[in-house]
């Protein structure tokens, strides 16, 4: 493991040891940083889907350093997230991201019983979104009853955990049905994946694809490719079906072909070549998914590709200065809508950069397992 990764990890811990105090003082869940400040989510208050990445990062840094500050900060936000169980209306399929990395991490790393209960509560909410026509419903708007999205492959990790914890196969069986629908409806011939597929909520039949956060219908939103890569790799780890590994390998092959020469990732692999629109969230997520794939296959080629992405991020887009609270720059929430941030620091980029480095250093807290 190159020592540059160990160094980068230590720098992340040092920087967050200082800047996380600001978030704690303000009592917010950071979504992004700008002008020396942490900024809370632009939508849906504390139910916004990214809330789990702050505690997830704190748990990774606690695993690295043993510094109780990080554990306490993770729990501060973990409590804010479990308070959202009572509001309920804004929670959606992203309870996987939100609670696996907060309560799920606490239960896994410290044996906290209440956190285990909260994790199972969240898994039951995700199960409640399952439509027996064959998919987990993504969002809550009445006109979106049939929407399924590629990102959900990551949320399935909450269901794998719940089956393991309870010994009840319901959760993993549901995950398998959703993964098979995703395989059938999202994976394209060229190894790319759609972002949103609308299904008939009565029958499960395909209605149409929507472009979602990507450039255009039929294009390749890079973060969606990264979610698919990592999500199918995890499906193979937990469900053991060869078809999920094959899907992850096809998506990975397509992904690495599109990485820019500087190791960074465009927001959409089909965007106009003259458009400079980078999304480093995609690169950071893929750097983790590729390492997962390398572990699963024993093929070091994927580790090399993960290094290429991580080196690109560290070399060009890591801001270690004090003027910015977070680290990874050039994160872009959505191709056409800059409301949630364009070419800026978005906190879950820092989470996945830290996870990628923890993996390289053999210290990963394994929060998705």
Query: Which positions are annotated as active-site residues?
Result: 94, 151
Number of amino acids touching ligand GLY (CB under 6 A)? 5
Tally helices (H) and strands (E) across the chain: 13, 8
**Chain residues 12-51 in contact with ligand GLY, contact rule CB under 6 A:** 49
**CB of 183 closer than 8 Å to CB of 171:** no
Torsion of the alpha carbons at 88, 62, 235 and 78, rounded to the nearest 10: 0
**CB of 140 closer than 8 Å to CB of 129:** no
The CA-based angle 306-164-176, given to 5 degrees, is 70
Binding mask 320-359 for ligand GLY (x = CB under 6 A): -------------x--------------------------
Does 292 contact ligand GLY by CB under 6 A?
Answer: no
Shortest distance, position 332 Cβ to ligand GLY, whole Å: 10
- Containing H/E element for 148? strand 147-149
**CB of 57 closer than 8 Å to CB of 345:** no
Does 151 contact ligand GLY by CB under 6 A?
Answer: yes
Shortest distance, position 201 Cβ to ligand GLY, whole Å: 21
Shortest distance, position 264 Cβ to ligand GLY, whole Å: 17
Three-state DSSP at 184 gives helix
**CB of 93 closer than 8 Å to CB of 125:** no
Shortest distance, position 68 Cβ to ligand GLY, whole Å: 31
Shortest distance, position 150 Cβ to ligand GLY, whole Å: 9
Q: Which is nearer to ligand GLY, 15 or 223 (CB)?
A: 223
CB count within 10 Å of CB 251 equals 30
With CB under 6 A as the contact rule, the residue among 176, 223, 238, 324 that binds ligand GLY is 223
Does 213 contact ligand GLY by CB under 6 A?
Answer: yes
Q: Which is nearer to ligand GLY, 59 or 352 (CB)?
A: 352
Residues lying near ligand GLY in the complex (CB under 6 A): 49, 151, 213, 223, 333
């Amino acid at each position: 493991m190159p020592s540059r990764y160990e160094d980068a990890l230590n720098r992340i811990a040092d920087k967050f040891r200082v800047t996380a105090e600001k978030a704690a003082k303000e009592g917010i869940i950071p979504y992004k940083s700008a002008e020396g400040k942490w900024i809370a989510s632009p939508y849906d208050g504390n139910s916004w889907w990214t809330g789990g990445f702050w505690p997830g990062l704190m748990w990774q840094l606690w695993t690295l350093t043993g510094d109780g500050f990080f554990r306490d900060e993770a729990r501060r936000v973990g409590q804010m997230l479990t308070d959202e169980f009572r509001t309920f209306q804004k929670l959606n399929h992203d309870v996987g991201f939100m609670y696996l990395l907060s309560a799920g991490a606490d239960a896994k790393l410290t044996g906290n019983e209440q956190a285990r209960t909260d994790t199972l509560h969240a898994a039951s909410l995700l199960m409640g979104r399952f439509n027996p026509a064959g998919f987990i419903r993504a969002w809550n708007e009445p006109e979106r009853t049939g929407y399924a999205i590629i990102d959900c492959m990551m949320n399935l990790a909450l269901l794998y955990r719940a089956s393991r914890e309870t010994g009840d196969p319901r959760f993993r069986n549901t995950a398998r049905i959703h993964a098979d629908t995703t395989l059938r409806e999202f994976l394209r011939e060229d190894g790319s994946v759609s972002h949103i597929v609308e299904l008939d909520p009565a029958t499960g039949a395909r209605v149409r694809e929507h472009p979602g956060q990507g450039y255009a219908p039929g294009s390749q939103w890079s973060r969606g490719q990264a979610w698919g890569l990592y999500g199918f790799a995890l499906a193979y780890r937990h469900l053991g079906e060869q078809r999920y590994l094959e899907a992850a390998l096809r998506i990975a092959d397509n992904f690495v072909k599109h990485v820019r020469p500087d190791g960074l990732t465009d927001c959409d692999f089909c965007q106009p070549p003259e458009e400079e629109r980078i999304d480093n969230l995609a690169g950071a997520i893929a750097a983790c998914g590729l390492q997962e794939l390398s572990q699963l296959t024993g093929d070091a080629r994927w580790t090399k590709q993960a290094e290429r992405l991580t080196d690109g991020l560290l070399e060009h887009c890591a801001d270690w200065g004090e003027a910015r609270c977070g680290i990874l720059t050039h994160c872009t929430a959505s191709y056409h809508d800059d409301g949630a941030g364009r070419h800026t620091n978005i906190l879950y980029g820092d989470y996945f950069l830290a996870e990628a480095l923890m993996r390289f250093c053999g210290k990963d807290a394994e929060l998705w397992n």
